[in-house]
A and B are shown apart, each in its own frame.
Chain A
Amino acid sequence: MRLALAAAILAAGTAVVGSAVAQTPNGKLVVVTSFSKDVTDPFKKAFEKAYPGLTVEMQNRNTNAAVKYLDETKGNNTTDLFWASAPDAFEALKGRGRLEKYKPQATGIPEKIGDYPVNDPDGHYLGFAASGYGIMWNTRYVAAHKLPEPKDWSDLAKPAYFDHVAIAAPSRSGTTHLTLEAILQGEGWARGWRTLKEIGGNLREVTERSFGVPDGVNSGQFGYGIVIDFFGFSAQGAGFPVKFVYPTVTTIVPANIAIVKDAPNTPAAKAFVEFLLSPQGQEILFAPSIRRLPVNPEVYAKAPEGMPNPFKFKWSGGGGFKFNSDLSESRGAVVDALYDQLVTFQLAALKKATKAIHDAEARLAAGPNEQAGALIAEARELIAAMPITDTQAVASDIAAAFKGGSGRDKAPRQAEFEQAWGKFAADNYAKALAKAEEAAKLLK
C-alpha cells in the first residue's frame, strides 16, 4: 500500500516534470507498424540522428494483428504511433476512439491526390506516402512462357493469362480490397464483377497475405500479380527481374500514420510525424528498399529513375470516376465476403469452367457456329451473374448480419448469406462448365 502510494507520488512528479520539458522530445518512442524492417530502419536511423535523446522502438506486426493488439492493450497503452498502409485499419481504430487528433505543422502537402484525401478529414490520421495499384510481372517467367505484357485489368482476363495470375484475398489485404473497389466503382457493380470473375478464372492463386503476391512473382511461382506499386518498385530496387504498370482504372490511396490515444510519449510521437512529413523525411521514401511515392510534390525533383510522379499522372482515367471511400468502407465486409465465396473458395470450379469457355471460344473462332456461340455466351453470363445487387450489398438485412445481427429473432445470419452465395457460385460454375463443354462438342 505504502509502495503504491509512493509510486503514485513518483508518477505524478514525473508527469509534472514531463510536461515542463515537453518541448524537447526525449525518451522512448514506441511505433507499432505493418511495414517491414527495410522500410522502418532508414526512418529510425535518420530520426534518432535528428533527436539524439530519443530511441525508437519499432514493433513490426501485420496490419490485422496490429489493430487487434492496439484494441486489446487499450487499458494500459504503451504505444505512441500506429504506422501502416491500409486506410480502413485506421478508420476502424478511429471508430473505436483509439486514435488522437493531430494537425501537422508541415507545409507543402496538398489536400488530395487523385480523388483521395491525403489526410483523414477529421484529423485522426495523416497520409505520408501515396500508393497506386497495378500489375507486376516476372520478366523471365513471361519470356519463358512467351506471354504478353499487360496494360489494363481486362488484359488479365484474356485466355493467354490462364493460370498465370495471382491476387491477395481482399478479405486479407486492405490494399487489394481498395483495388477491387477501384474496379467496382470505375466499371460499375455488374461489369466490375464480371471483370473480377473473368480475371478470377485465370488465377493461379489467391494468397492469404498481401506480400505473398510480390513474393511469388519475385520467385517466378506465378507470372503476374495484382499489387500495390511499391511492391513492384522495391522488388526492382532489390534486383528482381520484374516490371510494374498502372492500369487505366486505378486509384491512389495514402499510407498513413496516427498518434495513438493515451500515448505515453506524445511529444516524441508528434516530432516523428513532423519528421516524416518534412522534405527530409519524404526523401527517405525514395530509398531502394522503400520506393514509395511521397505526398510532398516538391521532393519529386530528387526522384530516382523509373519512379512515377503521381501529381503529374491522370489517375482516374477511363470513366473519370470519383473514388468514393465512404462507399468502399460501408460495403467493405460484404464485398470481401462475396469475393471469397465467389472466387477464393470456388477457385477450382471457376477455373475449370473458364478453361472450358476459353477452349470452346478458340474452336468457335476457327469455325463459326450460331448455336455454340449462344451456348458460350450463356456460360459467360452464368459466370458473371451475381447473387446480390449493389443496392442489396448495402441494404439493412445484409449489413446487419455482417455487423452483428439486427437483434431480431429470425434475422438472417452472416453464415447463412455466405452459404447461399457459395452455393449460388458452385451451381452457376457447374452449369457454365456444362454449357461450354456442350458448345465444344458442337464445334468438333
Chain B
Amino acid sequence: MTAFSTAYSSGAASASSRVRPGQTAALLLIAAFLVLFLVAPVAAVVVAAFRDKATGAFTLINFLDFLRTDLLVRSFWNSVSVSAMSVVLASVFALPLAYYTTRFEFRGAAIVQTLGVIPLIMPPFAGAVAMQLLFGRNGTVNLLLGEWFGINIPFMEGLNGVIFVQSVHYFPFILINLSASLRNIDRAMEEAAQNLGSSGLRLFRRIVFPLAMPGFVAGASLVFIKVFDDLATPLLLNVKDMLAPQAYLRITSIGISDPMGYVISVVLIAFSLVAMWLSTFAMRGKDYATTQRGGGGLAKRRMRRRDAVVAYAVIALVLLLVLAPHAGLALMSFATIWSYSPLPDAYTLKHYVAVFSDSGRYIWNTLLYASLAAGIDIAVGTAIAYLVLRTRVKAARWLDYTAMAALAVPGVVLGIGYLRTYYGVTLPNGQALATFWFVIVLALAVRRLPYALRACTAALQQVSQSLEEAAENLGATKMRTIRRVVLPLMTGGLVAGFVTSFATAAVELSATIMLVQSNADAPLAYGLYVFMQSPAGRGAGAALGVIAVLIVGVCTYLSHHIAERDRAAKSETGARRQ
C-alpha cells in the first residue's frame, strides 16, 4: 500500500490554500440543514438524558446509573461483539460478489449487483415473519432437517442468530461501496502486478483489495455502526440484551420522562461517532487515487474456464442464501395459510387483489419520498465530502461527524423530535409544519444521509487530485472542474449512494410512523404495517412487501444500467483517443 502512496500522493497534500466564499456558503447551508432537521429535533428529545428526573436540573448521574446497571453494560458489550462479527461475516458474503462482477468480464454483472442490493430491503414485519417461516426453529429448513435427519439448527437464536441475520441483511453496504471502489481501480495496477508474476489470491490480497480500501472501509463502517444501532433484527429474534433494543424498549414503554432511554441513545450516538472517527483515522495519510488514462484503464480481465465455474458457483450459493427471505416473502404473499409446515397449504392471488386498491397511492408516495430523500442525500453528501477532502474548511469535518450521527439516532426519537420542534410552526395555510408530507422526506433524508455520505466520500477519495489540478491549470474554474471532471469520475459512487439511500428509505418505518398524518400521505412501509397487525392481514402485508422489493429492485437495476452505459461510453471514447 505504501508503494502506491508514495507514487501517487503528490497531489493529495496540497489542498487549496485558501477558503473560498462559495465554500463557506455551502458549509453554512449544510450546517443549517443539519441543525434544523437533525440536531435541534434530537436535542429537544435527548436533553432528558442530562436532566434530573425530579427537579429538571442538569446532571450526569444518569450516565453513572448506566455504568452501574449490569444489564446495560452487558448489552453494550453484546452490541460491540455482534457488530464486529457481523462485519466479518458480511465481508465473506460481499467480497466474491463484488470482486468477480467488477474486475472480470462477467455475464449478468448488473443482475448480480441488483440482486445483491435486495437483502437491504427487508420490509418491516413481513420480512421478519418470512425469515421465521424459513429459518426459525419451526421454519421450513428446520422442519425438513428434523424430518430427514432429526436435527434442528438454531439459525435465528441468540446473539449468533443476530449476527447471521444482520450479515445477510446489511452485507449490501459492503457490496455496493466495495464494488464502486473496485471499478475505479486502474487496470494498469493489475497488469503491472501480473507482469511481475503475481496472480490469483495474491494479486487480490496485495494489489486489488488494498486499492479498494476506501470502499471497503466505507461499507464496513456502515455495517458496524448500523448493526450497533439497529433494533429491528434483535427485536425480530427477541434478543433484548443489546443496546439499541434497550433504548427503544425504554423510550417506547416507560415513557418520555424516563431519562435512561435517552442516556442509551446518547451512548449509541457517541460510540457510533467514535467508530466513525476510528475508521477515518485508519484511512488518514494514505492515498487511494489512481490516475486513469481516460476510461481505457478500466478494461476488465477475462476469467479462465475453471475459475469462471468456481466464481458462478460461489455467487449462486451466496445469492441463494441471502435472497431466501425474499423467496419466503413471495411465498407468503401467495399463501392461503402457512403454519407449522415446510410450505403453505395452498396458493391464492387474493392478497394482491386486497392491496390493489390502496397500493397505487402507496407506491407513488414511496417513489416520491424515497427518490427526493436520496436526491437530497447525494447532493448534501457530495458537498460534505468535497468540503472535507478538497478544501481547507476545518469545520467541514464536523459536518461529516454530525451527519453520521444520524445513523445512531433511533427513528422514533427523530420522529418525536420533529413533532416537538415543528408542530407549533404553521404553514401559510394553517397546517402544522410537522404534518406536511415533505417533512417525511426530510426525516428520511436525514436518516439515510450517512449511507450516501460514505459512498460519496469513498468515490471522491479515489479521484486523483492531479486531474483537477490539470483542469485548473488549463484555465477551468473551480465550479467547472467539479462539474466536468470530479462529478463524472464520481458517478459510480454517487449511484451507489443513491441506491443505498433510496432502497433503505423505501422501507423505513420507525420515524415515518410518527409523522404520517393520513393514508393519502402514507408510504408502502406504513401500509404494510397497517396490514400486518391482524391475522387476516398477513398475506396482504406480504404482498405489499413484495411490491416494495420489486420497485426498489427495478430502480436499482435501472441505476446500474445507466451507470454501466455511462461507463461503457466513457471507456469507448477513452479507447478511441489512445
Within 8 Å by CB of A211, from B54, B412, B428, B533, lies B533
**A residues in contact with B517, CB < 8 Å:** 59, 78
Tell whether, in the assembled complex, residue A172 and residue B249 are in contact, meaning their CB atoms are under 8 Å apart: yes
Tell whether, in the assembled complex, residue A407 and residue B129 are in contact, meaning their CB atoms are under 8 Å apart: no
Q: Which of B130-138, B182-190, B569-577 contacts A (4 or more CB under 8 A)?
A: B130-138
Q: How long is the Cα–Cα vector from A211 to B430 in the complex, in angstroms?
A: 37
**A residues in contact with B258, CB < 8 Å:** 414
Tell whether, in the assembled complex, residue B337 and residue A241 are in contact, meaning their CB atoms are under 8 Å apart: yes
Cβ proximity bits B38-79 to A, threshold 8 Å, 1 near / 0 not? 000000000000001111000001100110111100000000
Tell whether, in the assembled complex, residue A220 and residue B340 are in contact, meaning their CB atoms are under 8 Å apart: yes
Within 8 Å by CB of A219, from B71, B235, B338, lies B338
Tell whether, in the assembled complex, residue B426 and residue A207 are in contact, meaning their CB atoms are under 8 Å apart: no
**A residues in contact with B423, CB < 8 Å:** 72-73, 75-76
Tell whether, in the assembled complex, residue A69 and residue B537 are in contact, meaning their CB atoms are under 8 Å apart: no
Tell whether A64 is near chain B: CB-to-CB under 8 Å: yes
Tell whether, in the assembled complex, residue B430 and residue A7 are in contact, meaning their CB atoms are under 8 Å apart: yes
Q: How long is the Cα–Cα vector from A108 to B407 in the complex, in angstroms?
A: 54
Beta-carbon nearest neighbor of A337 in chain B: B254
Shortest Cβ distance from residue B431 to the other chain A in the assembled complex, whole angstroms: 9
**B residues in contact with A59, CB < 8 Å:** 516-519
Shortest Cβ distance from residue A213 to the other chain B in the assembled complex, whole angstroms: 11
Q: Which of A54-82 contact B (CB under 8 A)?
A: 57-62, 64-65, 68-69, 71-73, 75-76, 78
Tell whether, in the assembled complex, residue B257 and residue A404 are in contact, meaning their CB atoms are under 8 Å apart: yes
**B residues in contact with A181, CB < 8 Å:** none
Within 8 Å by CB of A220, from B138, B426, B430, B516, lies B138
Tell whether, in the assembled complex, residue A219 and residue B534 are in contact, meaning their CB atoms are under 8 Å apart: no
Tell whether, in the assembled complex, residue B537 and residue A36 are in contact, meaning their CB atoms are under 8 Å apart: yes
Known pairs A69-B419, A221-B138; A419 contacts B70 (CB<8 A): yes
Tell whether A413 is near chain B: CB-to-CB under 8 Å: yes
Tell whether, in the assembled complex, residue B535 and residue A238 are in contact, meaning their CB atoms are under 8 Å apart: yes
Tell whether B267 is near chain A: CB-to-CB under 8 Å: no
Tell whether B303 is near chain A: CB-to-CB under 8 Å: no
Known pairs A36-B534, A72-B420, A73-B419; A140 contacts B256 (CB<8 A): no
Q: Which of B170-185 contact A (CB under 8 A)?
A: none
Q: How long is the Cα–Cα vector from A56 to B448 in the complex, in angstroms?
A: 33
Tell whether, in the assembled complex, residue B536 and residue A289 are in contact, meaning their CB atoms are under 8 Å apart: yes
Tell whether, in the assembled complex, residue B340 and residue A206 are in contact, meaning their CB atoms are under 8 Å apart: no
Tell whether, in the assembled complex, residue B129 and residue A219 are in contact, meaning their CB atoms are under 8 Å apart: yes
**Size band of the interface chain A makes with B:** 35 or more
Q: Which of B239-260 contact A (CB under 8 A)?
A: 240-241, 245, 249, 252-254, 256-258, 260
Known pairs A219-B339, A241-B337, A405-B54; A415 contacts B62 (CB<8 A): yes
Q: Which of B504-543 contact A (CB under 8 A)?
A: 513-514, 516-519, 529-538
**B residues in contact with A268, CB < 8 Å:** none
**A residues in contact with B65, CB < 8 Å:** 413, 415-416, 419
Within 8 Å by CB of B253, from A30, A171, A219, A238, lies A171
Cβ proximity bits A384-419 to B, threshold 8 Å, 1 near / 0 not? 000000000000000010001111000101111011
Q: How long is the Cα–Cα vector from A73 to B422 in the complex, in angstroms?
A: 10
Q: Which of B107-158 contact A (CB under 8 A)?
A: 129, 132-133, 136-139
Q: How long is the Cα–Cα vector from A61 to B423 in the complex, in angstroms?
A: 18
Tell whether A333 is near chain B: CB-to-CB under 8 Å: yes
**A residues in contact with B85, CB < 8 Å:** none
Tell whether B435 is near chain A: CB-to-CB under 8 Å: yes
**B residues in contact with A419, CB < 8 Å:** 65, 68-71
Known pairs A69-B419, A215-B129; A57 contacts B518 (CB<8 A): yes
Beta-carbon nearest neighbor of A68 in chain B: B416
Tell whether B432 is near chain A: CB-to-CB under 8 Å: yes
Known pairs A36-B531, A36-B533, A172-B249; A239 contacts B337 (CB<8 A): yes
Tell whether, in the assembled complex, residue A288 and residue B536 are in contact, meaning their CB atoms are under 8 Å apart: yes
Cβ proximity bits A67-103 to B, threshold 8 Å, 1 near / 0 not? 0110111011010000000000000000000000000
Q: Which of A110-118, A229-237, A371-379 contacts B (4 or more CB under 8 A)?
A: A229-237
**B residues in contact with A400, CB < 8 Å:** 54
Tell whether A214 is near chain B: CB-to-CB under 8 Å: yes
Tell whether, in the assembled complex, residue B249 and residue A208 are in contact, meaning their CB atoms are under 8 Å apart: yes
Known pairs A72-B416, A144-B340; A216 contacts B132 (CB<8 A): yes
Beta-carbon nearest neighbor of A205 in chain B: B238
Tell whether A250 is near chain B: CB-to-CB under 8 Å: no
**B residues in contact with A221, CB < 8 Å:** 132, 136-139
Tell whether B336 is near chain A: CB-to-CB under 8 Å: yes
**B residues in contact with A426, CB < 8 Å:** 70
Tell whether, in the assembled complex, residue B256 and residue A422 are in contact, meaning their CB atoms are under 8 Å apart: no
Known pairs A59-B518, A73-B432; A414 contacts B69 (CB<8 A): no
Q: Which of A163-221 contact B (CB under 8 A)?
A: 169, 171-172, 205-208, 211, 214-216, 218-221
Q: How long is the Cα–Cα vector from A73 to B139 in the complex, in angstroms?
A: 43
Tell whether, in the assembled complex, residue B241 and residue A345 are in contact, meaning their CB atoms are under 8 Å apart: yes
Tell whether, in the assembled complex, residue B430 and residue A37 are in contact, meaning their CB atoms are under 8 Å apart: no
**A residues in contact with B513, CB < 8 Å:** 61-62, 65
Q: How long is the Cα–Cα vector from A288 to B534 in the complex, in angstroms?
A: 11
Within 8 Å by CB of A72, from B253, B419, B516, B537, lies B419
Beta-carbon nearest neighbor of A35 in chain B: B533
Known pairs A72-B423, A288-B536, A405-B53; A141 contacts B340 (CB<8 A): yes
Beta-carbon nearest neighbor of B345 in chain A: A239
Q: How long is the Cα–Cα vector from A69 to B71 in the complex, in angstroms?
A: 30
Tell whether, in the assembled complex, residue B536 and residue A38 are in contact, meaning their CB atoms are under 8 Å apart: yes
Shortest Cβ distance from residue A343 to the other chain B in the assembled complex, whole angstroms: 11
Q: How long is the Cα–Cα vector from A35 to B531 in the complex, in angstroms?
A: 10
Shortest Cβ distance from residue B527 to the other chain A in the assembled complex, whole angstroms: 9
Shortest Cβ distance from residue B69 to the other chain A in the assembled complex, whole angstroms: 5
Tell whether B488 is near chain A: CB-to-CB under 8 Å: no
Within 8 Å by CB of A38, from B132, B341, B412, B534, lies B534
Within 8 Å by CB of A140, from B339, B532, B538, lies B339
Q: How long is the Cα–Cα vector from A169 to B250 in the complex, in angstroms?
A: 12
Q: How long is the Cα–Cα vector from A36 to B533 in the complex, in angstroms?
A: 5
Tell whether B424 is near chain A: CB-to-CB under 8 Å: yes
Tell whether A428 is near chain B: CB-to-CB under 8 Å: no
**B residues in contact with A333, CB < 8 Å:** 254
Query: Most B CB atoms within 10 A — which of A3, A78, A206, A415?
Result: A415
**B residues in contact with A283, CB < 8 Å:** none
Shortest Cβ distance from residue B330 to the other chain A in the assembled complex, whole angstroms: 16
Q: How long is the Cα–Cα vector from A218 to B535 in the complex, in angstroms?
A: 8
**A residues in contact with B256, CB < 8 Å:** 68, 71
Tell whether, in the assembled complex, residue A138 and residue B536 are in contact, meaning their CB atoms are under 8 Å apart: no
**B residues in contact with A38, CB < 8 Å:** 531, 533-534, 536-537
Known pairs A68-B416, A404-B53, A405-B54; A238 contacts B339 (CB<8 A): no
Known pairs A59-B518, A405-B53, A407-B55; A218 contacts B339 (CB<8 A): yes
Query: Most A CB atoms within 10 A — which of B66, B260, B537?
Result: B537
Within 8 Å by CB of B340, from A36, A68, A219, lies A219
Tell whether A296 is near chain B: CB-to-CB under 8 Å: no
**B residues in contact with A62, CB < 8 Å:** 513
Tell whether A256 is near chain B: CB-to-CB under 8 Å: no
Q: Which of B323-345 contact A (CB under 8 A)?
A: 336-341
Name 28 interchain pairs, CB-CB below 8 A, sorted by A.
A36-B530, A36-B537, A37-B530, A37-B534, A38-B533, A39-B534, A59-B517, A60-B533, A69-B419, A73-B434, A78-B517, A140-B341, A169-B253, A171-B254, A214-B535, A221-B138, A234-B536, A238-B337, A238-B534, A241-B339, A241-B340, A289-B534, A345-B240, A405-B55, A406-B54, A416-B65, A419-B69, A422-B70
Known: A138-B339, A169-B249. 5 other contacts (CB 8 A): A68-B514, A211-B534, A221-B138, A289-B534, A419-B71
Contact surface of A with B, Cβ cutoff 8 Å: 3, 7, 30, 35-39, 57-62, 64-65, 68-69, 71-73, 75-76, 78, 138, 140-141, 144, 169, 171-172, 205-208, 211, 214-216, 218-221, 231, 234-235, 237-241, 288-289, 333, 336-337, 341, 344-345, 400, 404-407, 411, 413-416, 418-419, 422-423, 426
The 5 closest A-B pairs by CB, nearest first: A405-B54, A220-B340, A36-B533, A415-B65, A36-B534
